[in-house]
Amino acid sequence: MSETNNINIKPRSRVTTGALPASQKIYTSPDDAPHLRVPFRAVRTADPQNQLIRIYDTSGPYTDPEVHIDIDQGLPGLRKDWITARAVEAYQGRQIKPEDNGTVNPAQLAQAFARTVAPLRGTGKAPLTQYEMACAGIISEEMIYVAERENLGRKQQFEQAQQSLEGGENFGASLPAFVTPEFVRSEIARGRAIIPANINHPELEPMIIGRNFLVKINANIGNSAVTSSIEEEIDKMVWAIRWGADTVMDLSTGRNIHHTREWIIRNSPVPIGTVPMYQALEKVNGIAEKLDWEVFRDTLIEQCEQGVDYFTIHAGVRLAYIHLTADRVTGIVSRGGSIMAKWCLHHHKESFLYEHFGDICDIMRRYDVSFSLGDGLRPGSIADANDKAQFSELETIGELTRVAWSKGCQVINEGPGHVPLHKIKENMDKQLRECGEAPFYTLGPLTTDIAPGYDHITSGIGAAMIGWYGTAMLCYVTPKEHLGLPNRDDVKTGVITYKIAAHAADLAKGHPIAQIQDDAISRARFDFRWEDQFNLSLDPETARSFHDETLPKEAHKLAHFCSMCGPKFCSMKISQEVRDYASRLNDKTQGMAQMSDRFQELGNELYVSSNTLKKNKAELQVGSPDNAD
């Protein structure tokens, strides 16, 4: 509830800092850009083959003991100098108005973040957006940074990288064995990838979203009119990135929206996305019909100046498509979609988002805010999947994607939703076709509707599949989906579930660095290095606590068994004995190989010819007795 929304708010008190178990923050610098410091998490293990396992790290300075965290100050401006060297100008900026925070009464107005710098905007005198720079052949610091990051700081490709790619199935993607800054540039110029990075969000550690890079995940946070405070939302953001969220969407719909967002952006090392329509609607007291271009435009500029990195814009919800939803089982389930549908019907007019799309591009271009073209008509149930309403909107999204590119903007497209397994691939294939391979950003999809309370799982299944097929970023779903606002635990469960889905997809695509962590943890498992198994896992704390429920003693961390089978039965233990035995044999003779030849032919003894099978079968028909003991 909102009791904590008052000027005594002390956000810092709740934020989680410190490294994960056995982990340390390390930084590497690209050869051609020694001034860049790209962060990774390194896990110390007792693995003879690999004592320091490097892992992609989304957690930012919060897990670096060297960095002093002060929520009131916000994070350091990592990108400040890169940005100011470009065609930008500082300016007065828009005045904050009471309606920006939902016109709350003073007692409930949250403390404002003490912002010290004026907003920047592009002068238009030179390429500014990552897309414009890429098209102009410019390789930005952000491009160099993400290349280093995607390679896990490798200086050249692993021997097995090419092999790994050839062993995978990527459905026509073009993953490289090694990511170069030039490859990043070319992918962005082709519209196949984006680096969401508003020039007013210098605190950002750049990351890339595209089919030919690691699959990313987004975590949604945000207070609602019913519950939660700014303090909780900042904590959720830091908590989400600690467990692996690559971007965070602030979907706040309650009071204090402006202040909440400012606190989050100033303290966020990951791109922040929003749905500006939510705040615009608050400004007209939740009455959709009262929305218009002016209030929406004003909201866009407000959020551009704050540093939001990508906007969900539901410009594909056209008047002509709304009637297609009338016979659906669950109608329109996207908030933005339903708001625009209501507006269109009330005014008997085409959507002002669609009609002003060019103007929206012009605004977003000046701050390099990326488009996330929203799927306002996505299916909300298995019954409505892949219907005409959904696919008509997708075709319009394809059209708008090309418009945005022509205006110099970065674009990703949002996808469903609720889709049964056999209809998932059609979504991916149609998006690639209609939208010129712009990165796809899907919610789930949920593969069945019968498990509220477990929709992180119903959707994690669909997410892994569509990620494998080519989706670039997966929007998480928490166990609370359809039931309530996720709390801290739900956020963690959602993030871990989606890290699993994204990683399973990377493995299947044969991504060169995907299997390193799997192999390291598997070796730890086989060697009974329990500590390493815990520390290398997505959630070391949970892994350890589950193990310790039944075997809490420190001695058990070295035991060659766990409580699943007990000491006598551990197959890993027996199988190590088998291996040792075999190697002893090998010293004496050629060992197993030789033996196996000797016994190869045994197989035939038991083989029953098809004639015998027929004969026996014939006997069965008349129920002949057999002479079993």
Contacts (CB under 8 A) with its own copies, residues 21-50: none
Which of residues 75 and 340 has its CB atom nearest to its own copies in the complex? 340
CA–CA dist 140, 123 (Å, integer): 18
Give yes or no for residue 4 binding its own copies (CB under 8 A).
Answer: no
Judged by CB under 8 A, the residue of 85, 107, 555, 564 near its own copies is 564
CA–CA dist 197, 195 (Å, integer): 6
Say whether 377 counts as a known binding-site residue: yes
Q: Considering only residues 372 through 391, tell me which ones interact with its own copies, judged by CB under 8 A.
A: 380-383
Give yes or no for residue 295 binding its own copies (CB under 8 A).
Answer: no
Say whether 192 counts as a known binding-site residue: no
Give yes or no for residue 85 binding its own copies (CB under 8 A).
Answer: no
DSSP label at residue 245:
-
Which of residues 116 and 604 has its CB atom nearest to its own copies in the complex? 604
Say whether 335 counts as a known binding-site residue: yes
Judged by CB under 8 A, the residue of 52, 118, 329, 558 near its own copies is 329
Residue 77 phi, psi dihedral angles, 5° rounding: -85, 70
* Tokens standing for residue 30: 């690209």
Range list of H helices, 440-485: 455-469
Beta bridge partners of 39: 27
Beta bridge partners of 247: 218
Q: Considering only residues 223 through 242, tell me which ones interact with its own copies, judged by CB under 8 A.
A: 224-227
Give yes or no for residue 560 binding its own copies (CB under 8 A).
Answer: no
CA–CA dist 97, 309 (Å, integer): 22
Give yes or no for residue 534 binding its own copies (CB under 8 A).
Answer: yes
Q: What's the CA angle centered on 585, arms 584 and 590, to 5 degrees? A: 130
CA–CA dist 411, 398 (Å, integer): 10
* Tokens standing for residue 334: 């996207």
CA–CA dist 286, 274 (Å, integer): 17
| Minimum distance of its own copies from residue 396's CB (angstroms) | 7
Give yes or no for residue 625 binding its own copies (CB under 8 A).
Answer: yes
DSSP output for 112-157: PP---SPPEEE-SSS--SHHHHHHTT---HHHHHHHHHHTTT-SS-
Which of residues 143 and 536 has its CB atom nearest to its own copies in the complex? 536
Say whether 418 counts as a known binding-site residue: yes
Which of residues 60 and 374 has its CB atom nearest to its own copies in the complex? 374
* Tokens standing for residue 340: 């625009």
Whether 230 contacts 48, CB under 8 Å: no
Judged by CB under 8 A, the residue of 149, 499, 529, 557 near its own copies is 499
Judged by CB under 8 A, the residue of 320, 388, 433, 558 near its own copies is 320
Give yes or no for residue 126 binding its own copies (CB under 8 A).
Answer: yes
Within 8 A by CB and 6+ apart from 429, the residues are: 469
Give yes or no for residue 325 binding its own copies (CB under 8 A).
Answer: yes
Q: Considering only residues 399 through 428, tell me which ones interact with its own copies, judged by CB under 8 A.
A: 399-400, 402-403, 405-408, 420-422
Whether 533 contacts 524, CB under 8 Å: yes
The count of other CB atoms within 10 Å of the CB of residue 306 is 26
Judged by CB under 8 A, the residue of 321, 352, 440, 476 near its own copies is 321
Strands 23-28 and 120-122, bridge-based pairing: unpaired
| Minimum distance of its own copies from residue 297's CB (angstroms) | 8
Which of residues 114 and 136 has its CB atom nearest to its own copies in the complex? 136
Lay out the site mask for its own copies across 146-185 (x = CB under 8 A, - = otherwise): ----------------------xx----------------
Judged by CB under 8 A, the residue of 248, 369, 465, 474 near its own copies is 465
Give yes or no for residue 19 binding its own copies (CB under 8 A).
Answer: no
Say whether 68 counts as a known binding-site residue: no
DSSP 3-state of 312: strand
Which of residues 35 and 588 has its CB atom nearest to its own copies in the complex? 588
Q: How many residues comprise the chain?
A: 629
Stretch that binds its own copies, among 15-23, 34-42, 72-80, 221-229 (CB under 8 A): 221-229
Residue 171 phi, psi dihedral angles, 5° rounding: 55, 45
Give yes or no for residue 568 binding its own copies (CB under 8 A).
Answer: yes
Which of residues 35 and 568 has its CB atom nearest to its own copies in the complex? 568
Handedness of CA 84, 87, 91, 93 (dihedral sign): negative
Q: Considering only residues 333 through 372, tell me which ones interact with its own copies, judged by CB under 8 A.
A: 333-335, 337-339, 341-342, 345-346, 348, 350, 354-355, 357-359, 362-363, 365-366
Judged by CB under 8 A, the residue of 314, 503, 529, 557 near its own copies is 503
CA–CA dist 303, 309 (Å, integer): 9
Give yes or no for residue 286 binding its own copies (CB under 8 A).
Answer: yes
Say whether 190 counts as a known binding-site residue: no
Residue 195: how many CA atoms within 13 Å on its side-chain side? 32
DSSP label at residue 451:
-
Whether 508 contacts 169, CB under 8 Å: yes
Judged by CB under 8 A, the residue of 97, 519, 558, 560 near its own copies is 519
Which of residues 7 and 136 has its CB atom nearest to its own copies in the complex? 136
Q: Considering only residues 586 through 605, tell me which ones interact with its own copies, judged by CB under 8 A.
A: 591-593, 595-597, 599-600, 602-603
Give yes or no for residue 322 binding its own copies (CB under 8 A).
Answer: yes
Q: What's the CA angle centered on 439, arms 252 and 62, to 5 degrees? A: 50
Give yes or no for residue 291 binding its own copies (CB under 8 A).
Answer: no
DSSP 3-state of 44: strand
Stretch that binds its own copies, among 56-64, 69-77, 173-181, 484-492 (CB under 8 A): 484-492
Say whether 414 counts as a known binding-site residue: yes
With helix as H, strand as E and coil as C, how does 599-626 read? HHCHHHHHCCCHHHHHHHHHHHHCCCCC
Stretch that binds its own copies, among 60-68, 73-81, 121-129, 178-186 (CB under 8 A): 121-129
Which of residues 69 and 592 has its CB atom nearest to its own copies in the complex? 592
Helix (H) or strand (E) holding 585: helix 571-588
Helix (H) or strand (E) holding 339: helix 335-347
Judged by CB under 8 A, the residue of 85, 107, 326, 555 near its own copies is 326
Within 8 A by CB and 6+ apart from 212, the residues are: 173, 174, 175, 176, 187, 192, 193
- Cα–Cα nearest to 404, from 378, 438, 442: 438
DSSP 3-state of 248: strand
Annotated binding site for [4Fe-4S] cluster: 562, 565, 570
Annotated binding site: 220, 249, 278, 314, 334-336, 375-378, 414, 418, 441, 482, 562, 565, 570
Annotated binding site for Zn(2+): 418, 482
Annotated binding site for substrate: 220, 249, 278, 314, 334-336, 375-378, 414, 441
